[in-house]
Amino acid sequence: MKYYLIVGEASGDLHASHLMAELKKADACAEFRFLGGDLMAAVGGTLVKHYRDMAYMGFIPVLLHLRTIFANMRHCKEDIMQWKPDVLILVDYPGFNLNIASYVRSHSSIPIYYYIAPKIWAWKEYRIKNIKRDVDELFSILPFEVDFFEGKHHYPIHYVGNPTLDEVAAFKAGYRESFEDFARANGLDNRPVIALLAGSRKQEIKDNLPDMLRAASSFTDHQLVLAGAPGIAPQYYDRFIGQARVKVIFGQTYQLLTHAKAALVTSGTATLETALFRVPQVVCYHTPVGKLISLLRRCLLKVRYISLVNLIADREVVKELVADTMTVEQIWRELERILYDDGYRNRMQEGYELVARRLGKPGAPQVAARQMVELLSCV
């Protein structure tokens, strides 16, 4: 069968690449065409456009690139209709993907599957109308989404488990590098590591990294290591690092988390990855005009938390510093607690165990791929 996939960021590229690998196992005749990234390209198929040419975050960047965004949408729609896939698989990225779904639904009979459900439980809940109208099958990776979609909105979904669990488990099973070897390979000394995960988009890095560095640099008995994001040039980080003593490493986020004592993490999949590596963390998410955003958050967001860790646990496991609460002083205070307060660290670790239990067993890409092939075989 012919599979057309669309992702819009690095995490989607990772998850989609594993799904594609499992689809190849379940369907020996699988062909792929996609808007995605390097990891998907490594599995095989035709890369139509790279996600780094599509990902714009925030009101102003989106406004400035509207012409490019609309051109990408138009090209994507034309490409899908010309290739005529057996199924269109959308991966997160709802602003773009729901527009594509609406077009494909109204212009063809191509089945539309959504892998990694849009997070409409957080905001823009009205999008449930579009999902019910345009999406044939929805595959969820967060356990609490079952009650939201099925219980609240009477829209049946497939909970397949969480692929991050698979990715972390697979890495741990094959990684044997000692801290000494990791440090030597990356030019580090023997001090404990504070990991900085400042986001995967330029706007996130710009907003979060400077305050992260100012707060963490005070802990001179530790060394700072920044996880470089895929698709972000090293020179981009240089403009924010300044005189801060920090080592930037690329393509080694899981290695870094294996050896880190603590982490400052911008909200997203990274918070869950950090929890699964059992690294105490502070969630840092700065936004311009923080007080206004904080007010809007209270008015618009439908959930109490922004990090996946707290959402899955349904309680505060990790501290979230968001908008006006994300200050250098607050980061410093929370970082001090996770570094030196054993009781605080232990309570966080107990919360991590709860999160792992609620996620269930590994195997999400395999489960999703098998279900997709079975569903398509019945069409």
The 10 Å CB-count burial string (b at 16+, else e) for 127-144 is: ebebbeebbbbbbbbbbe
Chain segment 207-256, per-residue pLDDT in tens? 999 999 999 999 999 999 999 998 799 999 999 998 899 999 999 999 99
Could you tell me if 222 and 319 lie in one domain? yes
Could you tell me if 16 and 150 lie in one domain? yes
Could you tell me if 213 and 315 lie in one domain? yes
d(CA 256, CA 238): 20
The token pair that represents 372 in the structure block: 């997709």
pLDDT score recorded for residue 55: 56
Contact between 145 and 121 (Cβ < 8 Å): yes
pLDDT score recorded for residue 290: 42
Chain segment 300-311, per-residue pLDDT in tens? 455 689 899 999
Could you tell me if 103 and 196 lie in one domain? no
Contact between 103 and 122 (Cβ < 8 Å): no
The CATH number of residue 206's host domain is 3.40.50.2000
How high is the mean pLDDT of the chain? 91
Length of the chain: 379
Could you tell me if 216 and 347 lie in one domain? yes
pLDDT score recorded for residue 201: 84
Chain segment 183-192, per-residue pLDDT in tens? 999 999 999 9
* Backbone φ, ψ for residue 17 (5° rounding): -65, -40
Number of domains in the chain: 2
Using the predicted structure, report yes or no on whether residue 66 has a pLDDT greater than 80: no
Could you tell me if 70 and 218 lie in one domain? no
Range of the domain at 26: 2-161+363-377
Please choose, from the candidates 40, 35, 42, 34, the residue with its C-alpha nearest in 3D space to the C-alpha of residue 19: 40
* H-assigned helices in the chain: 10-26, 38-43, 59-64, 66-83, 94-107, 128-134, 145-146, 163-174, 179-185, 202-216, 234-241, 253-259, 269-276, 290-300, 308-313, 328-340, 342-359, 364-377
Could you tell me if 273 and 296 lie in one domain? yes
Could you tell me if 171 and 101 lie in one domain? no
Question: Amino acid letter at 196?
Answer: L
Chain segment 9-52, per-residue pLDDT in tens? 888 999 999 999 999 999 999 999 999 999 999 999 999 999 87
Report, as an integer, the average pLDDT of 149-166.
Answer: 95
Could you tell me if 28 and 132 lie in one domain? yes
d(CA 93, CA 251): 23
CA 229 vs CA 200, 202, 209, 248, 314: distances in Å: 5, 9, 12, 10, 29
Burial class of residue 19 in the structure, from the number of CB atoms within 10 Å of its CB (0-12 exposed, 13-18 middle, 19+ buried): buried
The token pair that represents 354 in the structure block: 């709860």
Q: Angle 195-248-349 (CA atoms, 0-180°, nearest 5)?
A: 10
| 352 SS3 class | helix
Sorting pLDDT into bands at 50, 70 and 90, what band is 71? confident
Strand 112-115 versus strand 87-91 pairing type = parallel
Using the predicted structure, report yes or no on whether residue 8 has a pLDDT greater than 60: yes
| 0.75 exceeded by pTM | yes
Could you tell me if 127 and 73 lie in one domain? yes
pLDDT score recorded for residue 329: 96
Could you tell me if 107 and 8 lie in one domain? yes
* Backbone φ, ψ for residue 303 (5° rounding): -125, 160
CA dihedral 162, 164, 168, 173 (to 10 degrees): 50
Report, as an integer, the average pLDDT of 126-130.
Answer: 96
Could you tell me if 188 and 330 lie in one domain? yes
